[in-house]
């Protein structure tokens, strides 16, 4: 087996604008959106008819018919049908985890080029039939005689019409992610004002990125949408302060304004070895150099559901020999403003760093001016599977624009998961 | 043990009626029992910036396994982390109002001017209404005499007014204390914090405690907080009943062998106390001429010395001065003061008080506030305070301490015999709206007696529920 490790180049990415639930994409399926995005990537990097090493992508909310979603999307795309593909699902960590998987294969020389991506629709969501009805129908199917079939059908009841609708809640706690985050916000004493400030800044930074043309080659129009539907360039503290809390009870601090809405969208990034990039005349925007996934026990040990990135970060930094302050850019997924603020406080807190993370000293604070410089999920929206690809493509381009430096990504996910990664500008000294 | 009025008030209907007609509402006070934790509820620990007690306080809170909450303040969080314990975050703006605390602990040593007293306002303003029933407020400060300049000294002195007023505002059986911790006494605060945070200090409120480094510090070793007086010999005078009996029981609970002393006519009761505490008896009239010699002989021969001496024996002979006989004057002064002084003199002359020894006197709020009809008693008990002040510096040189408790209205046979008007006034005119119990005095004495209390010397602590009488 090959024991040498190659540098992994990020060549760029693309996505469709993110839409709000039941908005312009309400009739688009996961496959439609992922296929469109793969085509856009193929166009951008002249991959039409090319077989790439692999495509890894996934969706969180999936129909049972989408068992091979990514492969089916590849077959429908401009990529060569000989391109292998597989599905990845790690809740909101899907896109970044897919990037790690593809990167690792490139690093080990198992492939030279690959695509990582993700997609999600909360509008065209799968609705399952009632569990009782399903049992009856399965029984009918198993029956060998007409009499047996009739006996099974006799068990049909009117209430079995009520379908099973997917819920945005943790199976083991029954609490929604927002409710979990409200608990974290209370535990960390996060104020409403801090959260609203982060939300406003996210909208303003993303709007500025669009205005200066930064997003021009990162976002392609889709179904009449040219910019993210959720984006409010005129967002202000005053407007946000009028919203009522939606999580954490009447004294709660979390509103629809400082939480991400349910959204639809897709993204994809192109990763390759340096040799492949050179052979194809494609400039390297950044290198994907480190990654770490962690999980916390939010069920029994009462750790915050979305605190796993706090654990992943020091492990990754330790391996990379870096401190939290050694970065020029920080991309922290804004699932909820409170999640970002809890994570930052946790890294600053001597007690948490010692008791939970086992560190002698806190990781410390970061320069907030370097955080999500071109906007984050609060502005863009957050189609679960598509966020990782958005962030990787975004950071790669920002690093390339700077011409030097280092960026870090932190993404929290349902199930107490967290994914982090490090990227360095192509000519990082 | 609650008096009849308290029992009545604390019935559902009693509560409604007393509230409507504005009668005092004595809350049931939580008291400590073996097996209970030091504090049963979350502790909020805050500090003015630049304080010097965050680390020692965090260590004590860790040692008593308190559920700690702190503001997101680097200094405090670092101190808690250094104590290797977890702490939740408190932010008045974001923490829901149902989050209430069993104790508020505030390190005020960082306050160095009157302007900076605002830090105390900022800590207590959003939290004072979050104190639970029988809650605790402890403010730690620097003794004004140890301050670098007048600006700092007046600010630290100002905290006394804050503490006493908080004690009157908190209600529902909660207490407030100020602890002046002298420089270099930071490591000596544990016994005091344990006492003031626990239900052991149920009837102690509005008090100022001073902790200073002994002039010749002794290594007391590691204190066994479960049984701090294990292997120690304690002499308790007036041990046959009331407060004395409670003292004997409490010191025995903490592991001491108690030598109970009382006048020969109380020998039967004394024997009962000795039986229930597993101690021994010494029936004797302390005013007899050779009593000091006999007591010290006994301690020397039977026990090879003594660790704790509690001067509890006392009498009252109440009369206004113009109507008081010579005998009434002499007897009270003799029992309450003269005999005590002679015993102490003999103890020190012959060196039978062991290293890290403790002398504990029982004074009275009458001595501090004065009381009509008690000129003799108040004189004697104020003399007791004088004795504490006189002996404390010398004892400090030998690593020993002398302190006094000053009980207020304590429910005993003595107070049960008072006229009803005086009795009710005594019971209600304090922050707890009720009398204390003998055990409240005994617990305070046990705190002085602890080997961990080496820094507590020359203190007079009132056990009076923050009585309106006296300062």
ipTM rounded to 2 decimals: 0.83
Q: How many whole angstroms separate alpha carbon B376 and alpha carbon B366? A: 10
pLDDT tens, per residue, chain A with 429 residues: 667 899 999 999 999 999 999 999 999 999 999 999 999 999 999 999 999 999 999 999 988 889 999 999 999 999 999 999 999 999 999 999 999 999 999 999 999 999 999 999 998 878 778 888 888 888 888 989 999 889 888 888 888 877 777 667 888 888 999 999 999 999 999 999 999 999 999 999 999 999 999 999 999 999 999 999 999 999 999 999 999 999 988 889 999 999 999 999 999 999 999 999 999 999 999 999 999 999 999 999 889 999 999 999 999 999 999 999 999 999 999 999 999 999 999 999 999 999 999 999 999 999 999 999 999 999 999 999 999 999 999 999 999 999 999 999 999 999 999 999 999 999 744
Q: Please give the helix or strand (H or E) that residue B137 lies within, else none.
A: strand B131-141
Q: How many whole angstroms separate alpha carbon A388 and alpha carbon A332? A: 10
Q: How many whole angstroms separate alpha carbon A62 and alpha carbon A124? A: 9
Are B191 and B452 contacting, i.e. CB atoms less than 8 angstroms apart? Answer: yes
Q: Is the confidence at residue B445, as pLDDT, over 60? A: yes
Chain A nearest C-alpha distance from B93 (Å): 6
Q: What are the Cα distances from residue A81, in Å, to A31, A109, A277, B137?
A: 16, 22, 21, 74
Chain B nearest C-alpha distance from A232 (Å): 26
Note if A342 is an active site residue: no
**A349-360 b/e with 16+ CB inside 10 Å = b?**
bbbbbbbbbebe
Are A412 and A332 contacting, i.e. CB atoms less than 8 angstroms apart? Answer: no
Chain A nearest C-alpha distance from B183 (Å): 26
Q: What are the Cα distances from residue B264, in Å, to B237, B238, B240, B245, B331?
A: 12, 11, 10, 16, 17
Contact at CB, A186 and B81, closer than 8 angstroms: no
Residue of B nearest to A338 (CA): B94
Q: Is the confidence at residue B141, as pLDDT, over 70? A: yes
- pLDDT at position B29, please? 95
| Average of per-residue pLDDT across B395-403 | 92
- pLDDT at position A428, please? 46
Contact at CB, B95 and A189, closer than 8 angstroms: yes
User: Which position has the token pair 């009449």?
Assistant: A224
Share of chain B above pLDDT 90, in %: 85
H-assigned helices in B282-429: 291-303, 326-333, 339-349, 365-369, 375-397, 413-416, 420-428
- pLDDT at position B417, please? 80
State the catalytic residues of B. 377
| Average of per-residue pLDDT across B75-84 | 96
- pLDDT at position B414, please? 76
Q: Which residues of A touch B70 (CB under 8 A)?
A: 351
C-alpha gyration radius of chain A: 22
With H, G, I as helix, E, B as strand and everything else as coil, classify residue A346. helix
Residue of A nearest to B98 (CA): A251
What lies within 8 Å, CB to CB, of B128 at 6+ separation is: B104, B137, B166, B169, B170
Q: What are the Cα distances from residue A38, in Å, to A33, A156, B458?
A: 9, 44, 83
| Average of per-residue pLDDT across B92-110 | 94
CA B152-B157-B161 angle, 5° bins? 135
The 8-class DSSP code of residue B115 comes to G
Q: Does residue B471 or residue A334 have the better pLDDT?
A: A334
Q: How many whole angstroms separate alpha carbon A268 and alpha carbon A386? A: 8
Share of chain B above pLDDT 70, in %: 98
Whether B65 has its CB under 8 Å from any CB of chain A: the answer is: no
Q: pLDDT-derived band of residue B220, with 50, 70 and 90 as boundaries?
A: low
Q: How many CA atoms lie within 13 A of A426 on its CB side?
A: 20
- pLDDT at position A429, please? 42
Q: Is the confidence at residue B471, as pLDDT, over 70? A: no
Q: Which residues of A touch B75 (CB under 8 A)?
A: none
Q: How many whole angstroms separate alpha carbon A286 and alpha carbon A407? A: 10
| Average of per-residue pLDDT across B361-387 | 95
Which value, to the nearest 10 degrees, does the dihedral of the CA atoms of residues A150, A152, A154, A159 take? -140
Whether B89 has its CB under 8 Å from any CB of chain A: the answer is: yes
Whether B73 has its CB under 8 Å from any CB of chain A: the answer is: no
Q: Is the confidence at residue B10, as pLDDT, over 80? A: no
Q: Is the confidence at residue B285, as pLDDT, over 50? A: yes
If we measure between CA atoms, which residue out of A393, A380, A193, A132 comes closest to residue A286? A393
Residue of B nearest to A348 (CA): B74
The rounded Cα B452 to chain-centroid distance in angstroms is 14
Residue of B nearest to A342 (CA): B89
Interface test with B, best of A351, A358, A364, A365 (most B CBs within 10 A): A351
Q: Which residues of B touch A188 (CB under 8 A)?
A: 72, 89, 91
């Amino acid at each position: 087996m090959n024991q040498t490790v190659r540098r992994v180049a990020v060549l760029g990415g693309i996505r469709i604008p993110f839409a709000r639930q039941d908005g312009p994409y309400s009739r688009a399926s996961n496959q439609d959106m992922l296929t469109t995005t793969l085509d856009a990537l193929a166009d951008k990097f002249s991959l039409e008819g090319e077989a790439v090493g692999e495509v890894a992508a996934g969706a969180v909310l999936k129909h049972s018919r989408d068992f091979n979603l990514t492969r089916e999307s590849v077959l429908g795309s401009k990529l060569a049908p000989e391109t292998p593909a597989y599905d990845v699902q790690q809740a909101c960590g899907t896109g970044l985890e897919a990037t790690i998987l593809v990167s690792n294969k490139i690093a080990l020389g198992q492939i030279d080029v690959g695509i990582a991506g993700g997609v999600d629709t909360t509008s065209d969501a799968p609705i399952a039939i009632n569990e009782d009805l399903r049992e009856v129908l399965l029984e009918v199917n198993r029956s060998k005689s007409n009499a047996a079939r009739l006996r099974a059908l006799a068990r049909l009841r009117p209430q079995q019409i009520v379908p099973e609708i997917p819920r945005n809640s943790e199976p083991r706690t029954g609490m929604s992610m927002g409710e979990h985050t409200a608990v974290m916000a209370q535990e960390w004493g996060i104020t409403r004002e801090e959260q609203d400030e982060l939300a406003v800044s996210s909208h303003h930074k993303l709007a500025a990125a669009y205005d200066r043309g930064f997003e021009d080659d990162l976002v392609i129009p889709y179904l009449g949408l040219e910019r993210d539907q959720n984006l409010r360039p005129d967002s202000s503290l005053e407007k946000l302060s009028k919203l009522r809390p939606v999580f954490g009870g009447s004294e709660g601090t979390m509103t629809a304004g400082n939480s991400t809405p349910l959204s639809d969208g897709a993204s994809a990034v192109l990763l390759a070895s340096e040799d492949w990039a050179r052979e194809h005349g494609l400039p390297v925007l950044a290198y994907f150099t480190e990654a770490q996934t962690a999980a916390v026990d939010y069920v029994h040990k009462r750790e915050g559901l979305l605190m796993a990135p706090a654990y992943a970060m020091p492990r990754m930094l330790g391996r990379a020999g870096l401190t939290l302050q050694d970065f020029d850019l920080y991309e922290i997924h804004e699932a909820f403003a409170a999640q970002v603020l809890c994570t930052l406080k946790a890294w600053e807190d001597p007690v948490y760093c010692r008791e939970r993370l086992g560190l002698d000293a806190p990781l410390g604070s970061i320069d907030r001016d370097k955080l999500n410089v071109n906007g984050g999920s609060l502005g863009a929206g957050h189609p679960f599977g598509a966020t990782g690809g958005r962030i990787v493509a975004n950071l790669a381009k920002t690093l390339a624009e700077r011409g030097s430096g280092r960026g870090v990504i932190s993404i929290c996910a349902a199930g107490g998961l967290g994914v982090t990664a490090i990227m360095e500008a192509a000519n990082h000294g | 043990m609650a008096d009849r009025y308290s029992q009545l008030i604390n019935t559902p209907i009693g509560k409604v009626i007393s509230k409507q007609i504005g009668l005092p509402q004595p809350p049931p006070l939580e008291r400590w029992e073996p097996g209970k934790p030091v504090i049963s509820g979350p502790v909020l620990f805050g500090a003015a910036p630049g304080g010097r007690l965050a680390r020692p306080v965090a260590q004590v809170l860790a040692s008593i396994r308190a559920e700690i909450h702190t503001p997101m303040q680097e200094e405090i969080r670092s101190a808690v982390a250094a104590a290797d314990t977890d702490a939740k975050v408190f932010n008045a703006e974001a923490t829901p109002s149902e989050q209430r605390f069993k104790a508020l602990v505030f390190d005020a040593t960082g306050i160095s001017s009157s302007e900076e007293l605002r830090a105390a306002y900022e800590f207590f303003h959003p939290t004072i209404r979050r104190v639970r029933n029988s809650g605790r407020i402890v403010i730690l400060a620097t003794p004004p005499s140890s301050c670098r300049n007048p600006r700092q000294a007046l600010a630290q002195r100002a905290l006394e007014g804050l503490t006493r007023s908080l004690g009157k505002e908190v209600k529902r059986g909660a207490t407030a204390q100020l602890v002046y911790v002298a420089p270099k006494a930071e490591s000596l605060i544990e016994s005091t914090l344990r006492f003031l945070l626990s239900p052991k200090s149920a009837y102690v409120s509005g008090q100022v405690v001073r902790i200073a480094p002994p002039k010749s510090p002794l290594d007391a070793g590691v204190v066994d907080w479960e049984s701090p007086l294990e292997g120690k010999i304690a002499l308790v005078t007036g041990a046959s009943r009331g407060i004395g009996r409670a003292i004997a029981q409490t010191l025995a609970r903490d592991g001491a062998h108690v030598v109970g002393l009382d006048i020969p006519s109380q020998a039967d009761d004394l024997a009962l106390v000795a039986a229930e505490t597993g101690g021994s008896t010494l029936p004797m009239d302390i005013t007899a001429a050779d009593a000091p010699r006999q007591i010290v002989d006994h301690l020397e021969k039977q026990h090879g010395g003594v660790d704790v001496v509690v001067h509890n024996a006392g009498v009252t002979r109440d009369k206004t001065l113009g109507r008081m006989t010579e005998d009434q004057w002499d007897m009270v002064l003799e029992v309450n003061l003269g005999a005590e002084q002679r015993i102490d003199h003999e103890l020190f002359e012959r060196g039978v008080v062991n290293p890290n020894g403790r002398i504990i006197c029982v004074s009275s709020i009458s001595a501090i506030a004065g009381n009509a009809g008690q000129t003799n008693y108040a004189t004697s008990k104020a003399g007791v305070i004088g004795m504490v002040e006189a002996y404390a510096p010398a004892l400090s040189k030998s690593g020993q301490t002398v302190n006094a408790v000053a009980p207020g209205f304590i429910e005993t046979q003595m107070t049960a015999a008072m006229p009803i008007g005086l009795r009710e006034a005594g019971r209600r005119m304090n922050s707890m709206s009720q009398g204390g119990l003998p055990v409240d005095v005994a617990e305070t004495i046990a705190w002085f007696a602890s080997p961990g209390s080496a820094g507590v010397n020359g203190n007079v602590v009132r056990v009076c529920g923050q009585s309106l009488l006296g300062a």
